[in-house]
Structure 1
């Protein structure tokens, strides 16, 4: 007699007392046909699944990379809520890359919860329904008479059964195709403060991060990279190879790798390595970039990203014209854990391990490089000590894979802080020019923006507010190609555009003789009644965060306190901020920032507060202090002693609030950063009457 996989799973459950319910994170269709054999034998890892053992312990493998954004806690909170289980019973493990079971197994774009919200709820609700049915069958009662509470099913006559005791019977039931989600008023976990599942391991120094990886037979390597735009001509390695602990010195793709037995050995050897570089063209410097900006602002070849009405005619008839130019430099992502990655390349297989925000693209990139099928490439995910978009790039992954293939050894490639600063994938440098025309009543009748970016792609966001409220709009973009590598930096493009736009609108409000808050509300009212062209935002949600922050921060009602307002929409979320500045010893000091965020349903309140506060601190520090310079293709500063970051005593009080509207979750990791520079710049102007047009402000 043949035994189906489902029959085997049900029989296996008799011996293990484990109910495993898998779910596809794309379709959210639950299936009992999961890795029960793995449960029995202990072999391998699970795919996407929810398991309950005979003691009621719930295990969830969380697929998305954890980068400090709290997704490894937030995902299980959603499942546990719909499952109706005691959080103390939940155990969370990091899943490795599995392209068959998971979809969107990445960290970027603040989109994880938005994508998985319904899927996670269904995963928990499905198991809960099966537990109810198993208990009702056991007690011979109508399932409608049963209810659940903290991992137990409660019967109409006082019966009580744990999920663990019901797991065996529940595994035999058909999986329901439809489930009912909890009402928001019945939430016990969602919206509360839940401690991060890795908190204890982080503070006690457990080896969670990529830099902690240790594998049998592993060697260590550091790689010397050329200045941007330069080519490796020669290098002297004979003396280096003779140094203690050094195994090899290898050159590939314009780089030189020092391979050794430990990090101390390769660091010592690296200091003795001499490389000679050359270039056919002059290497880039600050002056090069400034000239490109000047040329871009004058160019007649800009790409028109949006054109509403007739800007030229409207601006010519304006009673008053306001114009301002804003500029930001290249900056480093500066994660506390520098880039690193492990690779073990064999003839027909590859093991990759480490901190990447994009495991599947990393797998594909290595497959393309080494001509090894993706199904032969395993990717293990570690926790990340920061990323902010830097680990969306795969350069460090490819370095490890290629080097391993050359030296025929498993290797951990480790960058130094200087490597991170000098060879990073930076935030693009950008210059913006805004122009607005007012009629005799102070109404905005024309609005223009030109963005010139260095490797920025489209440096504008042509459908964002205040577009939609103004009849005559012209938005243009120019992208200048540079040898300096760039990539997404927390809240890509909007991290600076948000500041520039909000600082400019503050200046427009002053020219119009209007309160900055009321001017924006009036513009949003126009959008609500008669929007001009395409918009990507909801004006009513914009209005709500503005009104709430004005009330909570007591806008212009605090004597002796100078306030600045800003509001921005990105990653489908809305954040309004009011910064407060006091002048002490002739210098402005940011003392407080009040923020109201509409990101839909807040899953973990403590995690959400940390996201908003962290984004504000990040935005403030980089707006005020951070800057990279370039000379002959080399970036400086090269370490934190000279690359100015925000310090602990400079962090203001941050008061974070959330709009409680019950809408499905939207982005949160990035949206609070874009408005920060604007609120602070506007507050500094209120205090000093000095406007900032360039970052860093210092």
Structure 2
């Protein structure tokens, strides 16, 4: 019996109350009875007769805090004591959820209204049950932290006492929601619901999975991009102690139309299966395989409804060649993405023209938890467990590959030990299932750090050239950005300063590659924000203006007389977050005595501004303090916001200073932390001050928006300290 039929068959057994609410979908709701046992209840508020209140968290948890913040929203409207509820991680359940994934910092933004309605509807059903039981008007029933109260008669009951009766009532429609001013959970810091398990080392992660009879598996992929498996001899491997089998697998079938998250670098890999991880690791080292060059090919992609043909060239690629190709491309015609006014005329008549080019390398994700997944394929049914960001899409791909209906696939989501894009492309889940199917046993597939870091799906390598035209009064009259990358462009044509300049041109280009790329924290924004905000700082200096004043001047123009119709940002919110950063950092006073760098950016529907205060000691940059201002609408969990902002800042400084993946003859030149430089504890900021704009605007993203502006704030502060502008990442190479 699979999970979906199990839910259906137990729904009407026993007592208690279980409210189904289709989060991120149609908003339809139904109430049914449930057992008092801890049944899996995806998409439900569950209240048992003995007053156990459970709230399911539908989206994967990767450290961004949704397993705490999403139930907080439900609990707010349900009116319960958050510290006394049980939060349960939901499995993948496409019957009750859509958009059950993490990406784009959209979990809270997309689920806000539906999660509120789920809690409010459950509370209203309980109020109606109390009114019926006590024969009083429902308007006279109030609630307080899970207790129903009738003030006039003095009657009280816990939610659990009336849960069974509530389950028999018709679900009300258009239930009123709380006023923001009445929130007592939302906006108040709540402890991470998993914190005790995390600090005490309890099993939470996919890598913790252990099942009876489980075998261990690893894969061997080609040693370079542009190579594929020709042959290998499995016989000596199979003779090794603890080895069960060794064979090759193809992840996707020929002519399969890949979707957005089906990216995989090597479609055929060698699988090694054994009784222990150690046995398999030793066998990996003994694999003797013959590899051959790929031929150029095309593959069909369905990118969330946008069909395209992807070109994959043959050859062993090199970073130096990439840099030359991108430099040449800057001098060739590009695709115009936006054009306002007469840009050519503006530059022709300019009193000053500033032109600068910025470059960013490939970046590896380096998740602390290596890629892994558990799979148990039995006939036409599959049980899976592990960390991934887009389970619904991966389930569809697995269904197509194994020709097994999705209703027979059960994916349990574990906490992710890092992600931010890397675990969106969960080809290792398909690999695990194919291996389990072959050996007819449950399997836990594990990548080594080297396997993951050399398997691609990097942040693209990018370049961007900016030009600015100033008139005789140092007003910005023309702006031109031409950006591109291998194999994708970083350009966002409709973001600031678009809409603030009369004559504006944005164009881009791409170069095909066999090196795979994918989402990286704040995709594309992580580079283009660094380039844009570094350039604006330099333009402000040439114009003789304070860098904050310069940006506010442009934003005032975008407020009063916006140019164009498709500007993504709201100029007034953008300006307010900059003003907050200015105030909290005491910018106008401290800039006279300290080396400060400023940067601001809009992405994922949120606004972030940073001021970095640093100094040079013994030739090394020391970040004394970072001031971070955020506008992400209503803040659900302030502690969560602080954690995400602080993490973004430390991550951003480390990546800007040290992050780099180079390629030589198709081979990644870093494969573990000894060759891929990460920020160290003594290099983190000595202090971080995070403040946020308080408003009643619906919440937006927070996992990514604080990350992009870090790069330029650091570059601009380093310029103040060293007198040298930085145009190439990682900064440590230019500084040396």
Report the TM-score when normalising by structure 2. Answer: 0.90
* Distance in 1 between residues matched to 2:12 and 2:729, nearest whole Å: 65
* Distance in 1 between residues matched to 2:39 and 2:135, nearest whole Å: 39
Tell me whether 1:19 sits opposite 2:17 in the alignment.
yes
Aligned-pair distance for 1:220?
1.1
Quote the residue 1:245 is aligned against: 242
Match among 545, 554, 557 for residue 523 of structure 1 = 554
Match among 257, 262, 265 for residue 271 of structure 2 = 257
Aligned-pair distance for 1:590?
1.4
* Distance in 1 between residues matched to 2:443 and 2:619, nearest whole Å: 54
Quote the residue 1:5 is aligned against: none
* Distance in 2 between residues matched to 1:553 and 1:336, nearest whole Å: 33
* Distance in 1 between residues matched to 2:376 and 2:434, nearest whole Å: 10
Tell me whether 1:415 sits opposite 2:438 in the alignment.
no
Structure 1, 246-255 or 666-675: larger mean CA deviation: 246-255
Aligned-pair distance for 1:432?
0.7
Structure 1, 187-196 or 581-590: larger mean CA deviation: 581-590
Q: Give the length in aligned residue pairs.
A: 682
Tell me whether 1:697 sits opposite 2:693 in the alignment.
no
Match among 543, 558, 567 for residue 512 of structure 1 = 543
Instruction: Report SS of the residue matched to 1:482.
Output: coil
Quote the residue 1:217 is aligned against: 213
* Distance in 1 between residues matched to 2:108 and 2:325, nearest whole Å: 40
* Distance in 2 between residues matched to 1:77 and 1:233, nearest whole Å: 53
Match among 375, 384, 387 for residue 416 of structure 2 = 384
* Distance in 1 between residues matched to 2:237 and 2:468, nearest whole Å: 61
* Distance in 1 between residues matched to 2:19 and 2:55, nearest whole Å: 10
Quote the residue 1:583 is aligned against: 616
Asked whether the equivalents of residues 228 and 283 of structure 1 are also in contact (C-alpha less than 8 Å), the reply is yes
* Distance in 1 between residues matched to 2:391 and 2:424, nearest whole Å: 9
* Distance in 1 between residues matched to 2:327 and 2:103, nearest whole Å: 33
Instruction: Report SS of the residue matched to 1:172.
Output: coil
Structure 1, 291-300 or 672-681: larger mean CA deviation: 291-300
1:123-175 residue CA offsets vs partner (Å, 9 max, x unmatched) = 11112122222223333333323321111122223332211222122223222
Quote the residue 1:622 is aligned against: 655
Quote the residue 1:190 is aligned against: 186
1:592-612 residue CA offsets vs partner (Å, 9 max, x unmatched) = 111111101111111111011
* Distance in 1 between residues matched to 2:131 and 2:159, nearest whole Å: 13
Match among 35, 41, 49 for residue 44 of structure 2 = 49
Asked whether the equivalents of residues 588 and 688 of structure 1 are also in contact (C-alpha less than 8 Å), the reply is no
Match among 266, 277, 285 for residue 271 of structure 1 = 285
1:223-243 residue CA offsets vs partner (Å, 9 max, x unmatched) = 111111112233344332211
Quote the residue 1:662 is aligned against: 696
1:288-314 residue CA offsets vs partner (Å, 9 max, x unmatched) = 2112212211222x1111111221221
Structure 1, 372-381 or 89-98: larger mean CA deviation: 372-381
Asked whether the equivalents of residues 10 and 168 of structure 1 are also in contact (C-alpha less than 8 Å), the reply is no
* Distance in 2 between residues matched to 1:409 and 1:84, nearest whole Å: 46
Structure 1, 461-470 or 551-560: larger mean CA deviation: 551-560
Match among 717, 727, 731 for residue 683 of structure 1 = 717
Aligned-pair distance for 1:459?
1.9
Quote the residue 1:31 is aligned against: 30
* Distance in 2 between residues matched to 1:647 and 1:9, nearest whole Å: 51
Quote the residue 1:203 is aligned against: 199
Which runs of 5 or more structure 2 residues have no equivalent in the other structure? 1-8, 251-267, 295-313
Instruction: Report SS of the residue matched to 1:510.
Output: helix
C-alpha RMSD of matched pairs (Å)? 1.7
Match among 636, 639, 653 for residue 606 of structure 1 = 639
Instruction: Report SS of the residue matched to 1:557.
Output: helix
Instruction: Report SS of the residue matched to 1:32.
Output: strand
* Counterparts of residues 85-124 of structure 1 (less than 5 Å): 85-124=80-119
1:85-121 residue CA offsets vs partner (Å, 9 max, x unmatched) = 1112210111111111101100111001111111111
* Distance in 1 between residues matched to 2:618 and 2:525, nearest whole Å: 33
Asked whether the equivalents of residues 286 and 630 of structure 1 are also in contact (C-alpha less than 8 Å), the reply is yes
Asked whether the equivalents of residues 499 and 675 of structure 1 are also in contact (C-alpha less than 8 Å), the reply is yes
Asked whether the equivalents of residues 234 and 247 of structure 2 are also in contact (C-alpha less than 8 Å), the reply is no
Aligned-pair distance for 1:508?
0.4
Quote the residue 1:469 is aligned against: 500
Match among 154, 158, 177 for residue 181 of structure 1 = 177
Aligned-pair distance for 1:346?
3.3
Match among 493, 498, 518 for residue 487 of structure 1 = 518
Which runs of 5 or more structure 1 residues have no equivalent in the other structure? 1-7
**1:180–1:462: structure 2 CA closer, same or farther, 3 Å change rule?**
same
